[in-house]
Every structure is written in structure tokens, then in C-alpha cells.
Amino acid sequence: MYLPKKDVLMSHVSGKAAMRIWHPCTQMKDHEKHPPVFIDRGQGIYLYDRQGKSYIDAISSWWVNLFGHANPRIAKAVTEQLTRLEHVIFAGCTHAPAEELAERLLAVVPEGLTRVFFADNGSCAVEAALKMSHAYWRNLGRPEKCKFIYLSNGYHGETAGALGVCGDRLYAAPFTPLVVPQIEVVGPECHACPLGLARESCAAECFGGMEAAIKAHADELSGVIIEPLVQCAGSFRMHPPAYLAKLRQATTAAGCHLIADEIAVGFGRTGTMFACQQAAITPDFMCLSKGITSGTLPLSVVLTGDAVFDAFYHDYHDDKAFLHSHSYTGNPLACAAACETLRIFEEDDVIIANRPKITHLQAAVRQRFAGHKHVSDIRSTGWITAVSLAADPAAGRPFDERDRTGFRIYREAIKRGAWLRNLGDMIYFMPPYVITLEEIDRLTDIALDAVEAVLG
């Protein structure tokens, strides 16, 4: 007979369970001193722990939540789908939520993207795009086109293939022997422009290095992958649309693909529905995830145009089909959440309605942090505003890493009721779109209090 071990079964009561679960991106020893916060429920922009204390979710639960926790519209859509069809094999079958989602997506993405491939998380969408890009060239008789250019500080997920195109080596370095090396090119460093140009008047004059690399590697190059407008995990480095426009031109001229990883910036984060739209470009591949289900369920897609699709369209005896599959591909519940997300965008005119909130958030952060003695830079694109902190900004001297300044600010913000997870010695704001102007003021007040509690 099967009998669970009693001490294990009761460990969630004794508090030992916390150490049995291995949390992501976490030094587990930290939890000896700071056990994970037990979140009991969520409502709108707030998370509530078991004692009923609330936290403003300032970073949208790792950038996924758009319309608040336990959103009733999304909940209803998922619940209705749950009692009809929870999942079905996606090879040989299709279903209404996937069909509707494909239609809704293709109606809002850049012109020329006409096909939707499903996966179930961001990293896997990147894997699928890299494989599809190379397989395209192989199907055309150019198997030597198998390399990818990525930008320094770029982040594209943490599966082995995706790590090969991560410029943020923090995540890839420990796994070097497992990762296929690709080609790194120095990306834009607009917050400290080496050419001394102001962001407003810049025409991506720094693009020369990228252009030269694309030309030099054209014969072996499958594609170039970029996070359009904002490298989120890469310390929120931001570049102007002009850089994307030049990249589109250069990749087309060299005969290689442009892969736009809009996993973090898609669905309104940069102020437009998709970041590529600010440069009026259509990439050959667009990867979407995170906000796609409003942060309800895991789902991702890779979008392509007809040219890519047609290269895989063949008779069975000459099979060139795209071999890539996940058990939960096209999960109906996730697709239902994504359909409802896109309905909210349309019916509530979200992109327009967001504008005053974006302006207010950017101004509120500047008001509180500009001129602060430890602030070295404040930068914003749409909903994303990041504040970098340094021991001596004027001298360019960072804090000693062992001080864990950012982490301590994060802890202070938690005490004060805001989930403001740091990125190194940087704090950033990327709240759900349902935040109000008053809540923006409260959140930025808490952030300043937390910074002052640590830095005086």
C-alpha cells in the first residue's frame, strides 16, 4: 500500500517545507535568514501574505501580470474553458481558443507576420525560433548558415540553446561546456553613450560595429536576435527605434533573419503594443510570452511570415516539417487566458488608456530620485523605469558587491508593503497596468523610503 511519509506530509506546518523547494534564481541559504514570503492570495496590484499584509506588486510578478491578480475577466474565461476542454494533443487536433488566439494575435502584430507556432514558456519560444531559423536555411540547401549574433547584455532565457545567445554571461558562464557558442556584438550603451549623443537626437550612430559583424559573418549567419528597445534582464539598457530600423536593413541586406524577442517588452510594456512597431519594422521571427496570458498561465508563441512557413511546406516523402514539440503545446486554458487578454486590450483601448499612467510613473520616479546622491541614472521606456544606484555616481564608483545594497533595499521595501525586487544595485518599476495614479505615488514613496532606510 502507498503511504506518504508523515514527517514530510506535515512539514508545511512546521516550516521545513520551504527548504525542500528549490526556488529559481535564489541562493537558498538566504532563506535561512529571510524565509520566502508565503503569498496567500492576490487582488489587483496587491499580493497578500498569510497574515493579511499587502504588497504592491511593483514588478508584475517578474513582468508577466498586466491586468492585476485574480482578474475576474481572465478568471471567468479560464474557468469556462476548464469545464469544456482543459487540454488536448496539439498534433492532429486544433481547438477554438488556439484558433481565436492566432487570429487575434495576427491582427495586432506587425504586418507580414502570418503564422503562429505555440510553445509554453519564453525560453522555449527562443529555442523554437533559433531552430526554425537554422532549419529554414537547411531546407533551402544552406546548412552552413547556423550561427547567431546576439548583443552584449542581451537575455533570451536560460535553456541551453537560449544561453548561447545570452550576452548577460552571468547566466551562461557556469554552463560553458553545455552551451553552443554564438557571436557576441557590443550593443548600444545609451545611458553612457560612448559618442556622447543625446537619446532624442541619436540616429544609432553606434550601429557600425553590428553592421560590420553581420557582413563579416553573412555566409554562416542564420540570424540576429535582439530584445527590441529594452534589454530588461541586462540592467534595463534602452536603445532608440533607429537602432532596430538599421538592424532590419542590415539583416535583410546580408540575407539573414531578424529575431525579435518581445517576451518582456511585448503587449504594451514600451508604450506601443509591440516594441518593433516604434521602428515600423517586421522581424522574420517574433517571440512572445510573459504578458500574453496576463500572467495567468504559461504560454508562448513564435510568429513568422509566409517565406519561413513555405520553406517547411513539403510532401511527406521529402519531409522538411519543423520538428519541435512540447506536451502542453497550445494548451486551451492558456489560450483562453490569452484571448481574454487581447479582448481587454481591444475593448478597454488599453494602449491609449495607459498613456497618462506611463507619464505619471516616469515623472513620479524622477521627482523622487533625480539628484539623489546615490542615483547614477534614471531611464524609462513606456512602463519600464529603472533607477541605478552607486556608491559615488560622479566618480563612477559602484557599491561593494558584498554590501548587497540592492538586496537590502528590496528587503526594506517588502517591510513597507511593496514587492520591488532589485536587479543588482538597481531598482525598477514595471507595475500591472491597472495601477492608479495614487498607487503610483504610494509605490514610489515606499521606494524612496526603502532607499533612504539603507543609504540615508
Ligand X SMILES: *Cc1c(COP(=O)(O)O)cnc(C)c1O
By CB under 6 A, the residues from 315 to 354 that bind ligand X are none
**82, 333 contact by CB (below 8 A):** yes
Q: How far apart are CA 361 and CA 221, in angstroms?
A: 41
Which residue type is seen at 247? L
Q: How many CB atoms lie under 10 A from the CB of residue 411?
A: 17
Cα 157 to Cα 177: distance, rounded to the nearest angstrom: 17
Indicate the residue among 233 and 446 with the shorter CB distance to ligand X: 233
382 is an interface residue for ligand X by CB under 6 A? no
CA atoms of 116 and 299, how far apart (whole Å) = 12
Tell me if 299 sits within 8 A of 324, measured CB to CB.
Answer: no
| Bridging pattern class, strands 115-119 and 426-429 | unpaired
Under the criterion CB under 6 A, does residue 121 sit at the interface with ligand X? yes
CB of 430 to ligand X, least distance (A): 11
In whole angstroms, give the CA distance from residue 450 to residue 442: 12
Task: Report in angstroms how near the CB of residue 244 gets to ligand X at its nearest.
Answer: 14
- Contact between 126 and ligand X per CB under 6 A: yes
Q: Are 366 and 280 in contact (CB under 8 A)?
A: no
The distance of closest approach from Cβ of residue 344 to ligand X in the complex, given in angstroms and rounded to an integer, is 21
66 lines the binding site for ligand X (CB under 6 A): no
- Assess contact for 223 and 285: CB atoms under 8 A: yes
Per CB under 6 A, the list member of 58, 98, 260, 264 interacting with ligand X is 264
Closest Cα to residue 199, out of 190, 210, 212?
190
User: What is the CB neighbour count within 10 angstroms for residue 251?
Assistant: 24
Judged by CB under 6 A, the residue of 157, 161, 240, 432 near ligand X is 157
Number of residues that bind ligand X (CB under 6 A): 14
CA distances (Å), 191 to each of 244, 379, 388, in order?
17, 8, 10
> Least Å distance between CB 326 and ligand X?
12
* Min separation Cβ 129 and ligand X, Å: 10
Residue 232 in the binding site for ligand X (CB under 6 A)? yes
Residues numbered 270-309 forming contacts with ligand X, rule: CB under 6 A: 289
What minimum distance in Å lies between the beta carbon of 310 and ligand X? 27
Rounded distance between C-alpha atoms, residue 226 and residue 129, angstroms = 12
The stretch near ligand X (CB under 6 A) out of 128-136, 184-192, 260-268, 307-315 is 260-268
Part in contact with ligand X (CB under 6 A); list of ranges 118-126, 145-153, 204-212, 363-371 = 118-126
Answer yes or no: are the C-beta atoms of 277 and 252 closer than 8 Å: no
Nearer to ligand X, 67 or 150 (CB): 150
* Minimum CB–partner distance for residue 163 and ligand X (Å): 11
- Residue 155 counted as an annotated binding residue: yes
77 is a contact residue toward ligand X (CB under 6 A) = no
Helices 72-82, 332-347: inter-axial angle, 10-degree rounding: 150
Site for ligand X contains 237 (CB under 6 A): no
Using the contact rule CB under 6 A, the part of the chain among 82-90, 256-264, 276-284, 366-374 near ligand X is 256-264
Closest distance to ligand X from the beta carbon of 162 (Å): 7
CA gap 387, 406 in Å, rounded: 11
Task: Tell me the window of 141-149, 152-160, 387-395, 402-410 that interacts with ligand X (CB under 6 A).
Answer: 152-160
**Residue closer to ligand X (CB basis): 123 or 222:** 123
Ranked by CB distance to ligand X, the top (closest) residue is 122
The nearer residue to ligand X, 156 or 357, going by C-beta atoms, is: 156
Burial class (CB in 10 A: 0-12, 13-18, 19+), 382: buried
Rg (CA), the chain: 23
C-beta of residue 221 within 8 angstroms of C-beta of residue 100 = no
Angle at 239 (CA atoms; ends 236, 240), nearest 5 degrees: 145
Using CB under 6 A as the binding rule, whether residue 263 contacts ligand X is answered as: yes
Closest CA to 122 of 293, 280, 258: 293
Q: Is 421 annotated as a binding residue?
A: yes
Does residue 120 belong to the site contacting ligand X (CB under 6 A)? no
Q: Is 65 in the site for ligand X (CB under 6 A)?
A: no
60 lies in the site for ligand X, by CB under 6 A:
no
List, as residue ranges, the binding site for substrate.
Answer: 62, 155, 290, 325, 421
Binding site for ligand X (CB under 6 A): 121-123, 126, 155-157, 227, 232-233, 261, 263-264, 289
